[in-house]
């Protein structure tokens, strides 16, 4: 087990800043340049040296302001280690637990997470374990704001580029017991369905997890049933409900990329009542359904905000306006199935084209 004042490579351990079943992370300084602070990850079980190797390989060369960068790596040393950028501050988890984030803060945090993931995905790295504990918030965010560039960083790529068998073994841990199994099982709440099943995954699996994290930042809770963020937090803008739905969805309904999800987060919410609408956008009378323009393929345009939407969407993902005359809902759980769905993706209820219209 690592100890304070122990030398690991070129660095001397100062204090433990995180620990788990896989290993520990220590704050450390260079043995000569004492003002150079780093974070050193050390596996505390020989079985997890391979995870350290995987993480070091995955993040090698990833140079992005929203990704914790690697600074040193030796999985073959007497004490295997990975040296990383030190981020003074906290993980996202305490901010969620203590409800320290406004919806505006949540959007700013998620946009930076997605920016880092977008870069990783373009470099063929899928994180596979996005959760609040693996999102670090620099202390500058509390002084300069969460919109400040580089104050949010993604860390812990220990499952990066992992194989399908690895994902399957994690899914099977649900039947295990002990602290280690519980820690892994906790991550299952952020796993996309295809990842739980042990199938090959791409960057969209990370976007599913981002949807769960966004929901937590807005509500303080994990998704359950058919509730959307605004059901639990009236301060949450309606357009974020659709962002959540599009990320927390089956693979073919999910955002295609991190950039697409960033764009959805950036879209302005509907104009509050009593304010003048933007030029060229007609006001929406109370209770009136705006008929969408003719469909020209898989994408169309919202008649209220002019945002690009899927041709089958019942509501605009940007401004929330109802796009169809009759909204189709699952009669069992109240979810909003796609017009072409034969079964509800949330509860499995068999649907007909006529059933469930409300």
pLDDT for residue 105:
97
pLDDT digits 0-9 by tens, 169-222: 444 443 434 444 444 444 789 999 998 888 889 999 999 999 999 999 999 999
Ordered structural domains, the chain, with CATH? 9-85 (3.30.200.20), 89-266 (1.10.510.10)
pLDDT at 114: 98
Contact between 119 and 206 under an 8 Å Cβ cutoff? The reply is no
Helix (H, G, I), strand (E, B) or coil at 59: helix
Residues 247-252, mean pLDDT to the nearest whole number: 94
Residue 348: its pLDDT value, please?
A: 64
Backbone angles phi, psi at 301, to 5 degrees: -125, 135
pTM of the complete model beyond 0.95: no
Q: What is the pLDDT of residue 298?
A: 63
pLDDT at 287 over 70: no
Does the structure show a pLDDT above 90 at 341? no
What is the reported pLDDT for 235?
93
Residues with Cβ within 8 Å of 105's Cβ and at least 6 positions away in sequence, in order, are: 146, 217
Q: Give the 3-state secondary structure percentages of the chain, helix then strand then coil, rounded to 5.
A: 35, 15, 50
What pLDDT does residue 288 have? 37
Read off φ and ψ for residue 304, nearest 5 degrees: -95, -50
Q: Compute CA distances 215 → 147, 262, 312, whole Å.
A: 19, 15, 24
What does the pLDDT average to over 249-256? 94
Average pLDDT across the chain, whole number: 80
pLDDT higher than 70, residue 55: yes
State percent of the chain over pLDDT 70. 76
Mean pLDDT of 48-76: 85
Q: How confident is the model at residue 64 (pLDDT cuts 50, 70, 90)?
A: very high
87-116 pLDDT, tens digit each: 999 999 999 999 999 999 999 999 999 999
Portion of the chain with pLDDT greater than 90, in percent: 46
To the nearest 10 degrees (0 to 180), the angle between helices 258-266 and 203-219 is 30
Return the active site residues.
Answer: 129
């Amino acid at each position: 087990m690592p100890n304070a004042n122990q030398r690991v490579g070129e660095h001397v351990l100062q204090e433990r800043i995180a620990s788990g079943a896989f290993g520990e992370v220590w704050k450390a300084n260079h043995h000569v340049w004492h003002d150079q602070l780093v974070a050193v990850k050390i596996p505390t079980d020989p079985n997890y040296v391979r995870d350290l190797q995987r993480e070091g390989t995955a993040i090698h060369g990833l140079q992005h302001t929203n990704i914790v960068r690697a600074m040193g790596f030796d999985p073959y040393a007497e004490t295997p280690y990975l040296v990383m950028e030190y981020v003074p501050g906290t993980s996202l988890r305490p901010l969620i637990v203590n409800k320290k984030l406004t919806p505006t803060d949540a959007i700013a945090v998620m946009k930076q997470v997605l920016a880092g993931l977008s870069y990783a995905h373009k470099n063929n790295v899928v994180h596979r374990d996005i959760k609040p504990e693996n999102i670090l918030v620099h202390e500058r965010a509390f002084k300069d704001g969460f919109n400040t560039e580089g104050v949010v960083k993604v860390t812990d790529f220990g499952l990066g580029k992992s194989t399908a068998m690895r994902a399957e073994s994690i899914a099977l841990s649900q039947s295990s017991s002990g602290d280690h199994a519980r820690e892994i099982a906790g991550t299952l709440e952020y796993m996309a369905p295809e990842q739980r099943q042990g199938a090959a995954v791409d960057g969209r699996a990370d976007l599913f997890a981002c949807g769960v994290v966004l929901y937590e930042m807005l509500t303080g809770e994990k998704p359950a049933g058919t509730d959307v963020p605004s059901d639990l937090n009236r301060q949450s803008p309606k357009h974020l409900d659709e962002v959540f739905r599009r990320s927390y969805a089956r693979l073919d309904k999910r955002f295609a990329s991190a950039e697409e999800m960033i764009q959805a987060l950036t879209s302005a919410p509907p104009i509050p009542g009593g304010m003048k609408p933007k030029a060229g956008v007609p006001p929406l009378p109370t209770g009136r359904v705006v008929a969408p323009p003719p469909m020209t393929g898989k994408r169309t345009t919202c008649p209220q905000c002019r945002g690009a939407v899927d041709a089958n969407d019942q509501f605009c993902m940007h401004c929330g306006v109802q796009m169809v005359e009759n909204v189709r809902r699952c009669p069992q759980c109240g979810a909003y199935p796609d017009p072409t769905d034969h079964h509800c993706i949330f509860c499995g209820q068999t649907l007909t084209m006529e059933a469930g219209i409300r």
